[in-house]
Structure formats: C-alpha cells, structure tokens
Amino acid sequence: MKAEPRVRSSSRAGEGPGLHRADASPWCDVHVRKTFVSSQRRFELDVAFTARAPRLVLMGPSGVGKTTVLQAVAGLLRPDTGHIRVAGETVYDARRGVCLPPQQRRVGFLFQDYALLPHLTALSNVGFGLRRGPWGWLNRAQKEEAMHWLERFRLAHVAYQRPHALSGGQQQRLALARLAILKPRMLLLDEPFSALDPELRQAMREEIDALLNTLNIPLLMVTHDEQDRQALKAEVLRLGHVDGRSVCLPEGLVDSLRAMRSETG
C-alpha cells in the first residue's frame, strides 16, 4: 500500500489555532485519481497527501496535474475515485457518493485570469457572492460590506469602475476582495503572480500574506517560483511522473533526484 506524503507543520507565530501543531488534524486530506484520455495522449493523476502545515505549495513540471488538484479540491472537477476532506468535512467521497458543489465547499479559488465579471462595477464584483439569486440586488448592508473590502485592498476610489478600466494589480486585488468577503475556510491560488512584473509580484505576495493572516485560513497554491514559496513561508509538495502516472513525490525521492542531478551536472 502506497504511503501518503504528510506535509510537516511549522510553528510560526500568528498562525490559526489548530493549524500549527504537529498533532493537529489535517486541514486538507486528499486522495484522488483521475484519468483523461484523448486521441493524442492518456493522462493519469494519482495524488494522495494530508496537510497540517498552514501553507502548502504544489510544485512540479508543467502538465503534471497541479492545477487539476486545485480544481478537484474546489469542486470544479470530479475525480474518478478517492476522497477529499477540507477542515474535517468530507466534500468528495466516491464510495459514499458525496460530491458537494463548489459553493458549499467554502473554498476561495483565485483563477489565473481572475474571472472578474466585466459588466459589473468593482463594488458589484466584490458583493456578487452575497446576492440572493442570479438577479438579486445588493442591499445597503451588503454594499457597506463590499466597500469595506474595497477599502481593505485600497480600491475604494475605483468602486464604480469596471474591470477593464483597472490595472493588472488592481484586478488581482479586486479578485482577492471578492474571495475575502465570502470568508472562505481555505485559499487556493493557481500561479497568481506569473503575469505580474517583479515589483508588483512582491507587493501581491505581501497582500496575500496579510489576507491569510486576517482571515486566519490555510493556503494551497500552485507555483513554479521558489521565491513565492519563500515569501509566503510555505511547505512544498512536489508532483512528478512515476510509471506513467502523476503522483506526489516522497521527500526522500526528491532529495535523491537532486543529488543525481548535481552529480551528473
């Protein structure tokens, strides 16, 4: 039976209760399999891990399935088999027939393109998730809550502008504000800094670090940049191809591969 990688926790000050203790229950427990078949290729994902460290980064080569893992956790993709538990709640279990829709998982997912609604103002984008029904209007209290988060991300002055009028950094902060207002219990980020210039990239790392501390929630992020991991003080889980499948690589195997590369280099 394959052993699941268990991501060790750190003991940084200011982390949420129950997230930093080595004996704490994992905030994310994932064991999923998914097979994609096309005329050109066959792709098999077989990933299993439990996360106790409050911030976890998925790293690995392109096409290994990192984004697929995020989509499965968020409920945007249904695995073939396995289970997913978030904060102790089962959100997917193939054997039990459990598969909660995304809106019931209380997971904040920041897409690479931010997925802002182009026909709505910044204020309406932030408050969108508070509305009742597809055509619901924001009441006064909801508008005040949305404005609070716009102010928190220094966007109050563009509250009535639409996304196309905002800079790339402003659009990303708007997307974060839209997530924050819903008070998610974890944050999923898919290469959130890749399209930003270096100066703005560091500023956004600091924004996300502050948001995680404010909401007191854990992070699961995909990145290729080691500086992202260092800035957010995250543990690493590496994915790789083994016997034709995409899997989590045990730490010992990762260390061995590094040693082999240095010797051959």
9-41 per-position pLDDT tens digit: 333 333 343 344 445 679 999 999 999 998 888
Q: Which residue has the tokens 């750190």?
A: 10
Q: How far apart are CA 229 and CA 220, in angstroms?
A: 11
Query: 237 pairs with which residues across the strands?
Result: 58
Both structure tokens of 33:
């399999």
Residue 145: partners with Cβ closer than 8 Å, 6 or more residues away: 127, 130, 181
Structure-derived torsion over alpha carbons of residues 155, 170, 62, 31, reported in degrees to the nearest 10: 10
Give the residue from 217, 246, 251, 232 showing the smallest Cα distance to 57: 232
Which two structure tokens, joined as six digits, stand for 178?
Answer: 């839209």
Q: Would you state the pLDDT for residue 10?
A: 36
Per-residue pLDDT, 68? 96
- Identify the pLDDT of residue 72: 97
pLDDT, residue 221, reads 97
Q: Which CATH number fits domain 1-104+223-265: 1.10.3470, 3.90.79, 3.40.50, 3.30.70?
A: 3.40.50
Q: How far apart are CA 225 and CA 223, in angstroms?
A: 6
Enumerate residue ranges in the chain where pLDDT < 50.
Answer: 1-3, 6-22, 252-261, 263
At 83 the pLDDT is: 98
